[in-house]
């Protein structure tokens, strides 16, 4: 839904507007709490699919049914475009690319990651374990999260990017040009595609109406991170949101949920929300130094195991923001990092 508006009021009209431009939402099932993922069929030359959904038989079946409703088969696809590295968006890449022989266009940094997906996912899990240990997550909880992560790997797959994209590139289709916009934050590889002539923005998970896109702790795709060898996801995300707010978009087609027709006030509210959350964390530190995990428990209580990494990411992101502003600093305590107000 958009800010101040219900999902019923404008969603069908917005999807109809997209359809008149030859863009059709294919909402496919996922095994994740976020629910269905939005892939987009662009009826143009080349026939294009944006994102693939996770690697599951149910998702593949529904994708084939959705394509058939528009008179197409997987084998008809000529171009696959990817918005970012998460499994719910790229898991079927190997199957679809093999059957269609389509070109695969994605951020250039994604090529090595996807070609060696199993190794990349294992490295992601090792990275997550190291960060959780450093920031106070109990070993038993970290072990459970490791098991969950390993089980989820089956929903991804390896794939080959045949056209590496850079920020500012253009994807030229016969009836439109899509400008490539790298907007890291939710993941290091977040990429949006903007049809400037029509004002239609395919945003992936960078901007979602009904939930805040989690800026997840991540292992950098290239080069070295800063503290913990990780990206400072929230700082990147806020910068990316600010850039997106300046786009003259009439319609935003997100990776989950309904279309967005008022992206600027939505972004402004998200920016305010993160500032409020940072202030709350700073207030918690008045009582003395705490680990990021202790702060997460104080803020959200005992969340579901599968959400523990998300809440830790949220807290670390806001601590990064406060540290950038000179309001908190990290104080090592053996192998664990604690944070204190300055």
Residues 293-320: tens digit of each pLDDT: 999 999 998 777 778 889 999 999 999 9
Q: Per-residue pLDDT averaged across 240-258, rounded? A: 98
Structure tokens at 71: 């008179």
| Structure confidence at residue 123 as a pLDDT band (50, 70, 90) | very high
Cis amide bond preceding 46, omega within 30 = yes
Percent residues over pLDDT 90 in the chain: 85
Task: Count CB atoms within 10 A of the CB of residue 52.
Answer: 32
pLDDT digits (tens, 9 = 90+) for 82-95: 999 999 999 999 99
Q: At what angle do helices 117-134 and 139-152 cross, to 10 degrees?
A: 160
Q: How far apart are CA 216 and CA 231, in angstroms?
A: 9
Picking from 46-55, 127-136, 176-185, 226-235, which range would have the lowest pLDDT averaged per residue? 226-235
Query: Is a pLDDT exceeding 50 seen at residue 217?
Result: yes
Q: How far apart are CA 25 and CA 23, in angstroms?
A: 7
- Order of strands, edge to edge, in the sheet holding 170-173? 170-173, 176-182, 191-195, 200-204, 251-254
Pick from 307, 116, 292: nearest CA to 221: 116
Q: Per-residue pLDDT averaged across 39-54, rounded? A: 99
Q: How far apart are CA 341 and CA 322, in angstroms?
A: 9
Query: Is a pLDDT exceeding 60 seen at residue 135?
Result: yes
Cβ atoms of residues 22 and 63 within 8 Å: no
Q: What does the pLDDT read at residue 221? A: 86
Q: What does the pLDDT read at residue 49? A: 99
Q: What does the pLDDT read at residue 225? A: 42
Domains and CATH numbers, the chain: 7-117+156-280 (3.60.15.10)
Q: For residues 196, 197, 202 and 207, what is the CA-based torsion angle, rounded to 10 degrees?
A: 50
pLDDT digits (tens, 9 = 90+) for 262-305: 999 999 999 999 999 999 999 999 999 999 999 999 999 877 77
Mention every residue, 6+ apart, whose C-beta is less than 8 A from residue 250.
198, 199, 200, 261
Query: Is a pLDDT exceeding 80 seen at residue 129?
Result: yes
User: 75 or 212: which carries more pLDDT confidence?
Assistant: 75
**Could you tell me the pTM of the whole model?**
0.93
User: 47 or 10: which carries more pLDDT confidence?
Assistant: 47
Pick from 223, 240, 241: nearest CA to 231: 223
Q: Which residue has the tokens 């059709």?
A: 24
The sign of the dihedral angle between the CA atoms of 124, 126, 127, 132 is: positive
Q: What does the pLDDT read at residue 81? A: 99
Structure tokens at 257: 């949920």
Q: What does the pLDDT read at residue 3? A: 33
Structure tokens at 180: 């490539």
Q: What does the pLDDT read at residue 82? A: 99
Which residues in 177-187 are b (16+ Cβ under 10 Å) and which e? ebbbbbbbbbb
């Amino acid at each position: 839904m958009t800010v101040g508006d219900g999902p019923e009021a404008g969603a069908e009209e917005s999807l109809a507007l997209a359809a008149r431009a030859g863009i059709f939402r294919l909402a496919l099932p996922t095994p994740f709490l976020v629910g269905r993922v939005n892939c987009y069929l662009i009826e143009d030359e080349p026939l294009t699919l944006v994102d693939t959904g996770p690697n599951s038989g149910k998702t593949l079946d529904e994708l084939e049914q959705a394509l058939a409703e528009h008179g197409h088969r997987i084998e008809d696809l000529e171009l696959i475009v990817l918005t970012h590295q998460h499994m719910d968006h790229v898991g079927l890449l190997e199957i679809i690319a093999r059957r269609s022989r389509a070109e695969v266009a994605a951020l250039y940094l994604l090529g090595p990651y996807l070609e060696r997906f199993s190794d990349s996912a294992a490295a992601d899990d090792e990275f997550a374990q190291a960060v959780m240990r450093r920031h106070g997550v109990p070993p038993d909880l970290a072990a459970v999260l490791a098991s969950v992560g390993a089980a989820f790997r089956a929903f991804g797959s390896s794939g080959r990017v045949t056209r590496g994209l850079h920020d500012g590139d253009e994807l030229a289709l016969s009836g439109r040009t899509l400008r490539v916009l790298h907007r890291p934050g939710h993941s290091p590889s977040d990429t949006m595609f903007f049809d400037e002539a029509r004002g239609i923005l395919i945003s992936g998970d960078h901007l979602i109406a009904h939930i805040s896109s989690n800026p997840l702790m991540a292992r950098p795709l290239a080069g070295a991170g800063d503290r913990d060898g990780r990206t400072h996801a929230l700082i990147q995300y806020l910068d990316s949101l600010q850039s997106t707010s300046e786009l003259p978009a009439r319609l935003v087609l997100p990776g989950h949920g309904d279309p967005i027709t008022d992206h600027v006030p939505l972004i402004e509210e998200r920016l305010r929300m993160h500032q409020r959350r940072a202030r709350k964390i700073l207030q918690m530190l008045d009582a003395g130094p705490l680990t990021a995990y202790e702060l997460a428990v104080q803020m959200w209580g005992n969340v579901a195991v599968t959400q523990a990494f998300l809440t830790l990411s949220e807290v670390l992101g806001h601590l990064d923001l406060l540290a950038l502003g000179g309001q908190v600093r990290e104080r090592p305590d053996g192998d664990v990092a604690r944070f204190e107000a300055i």
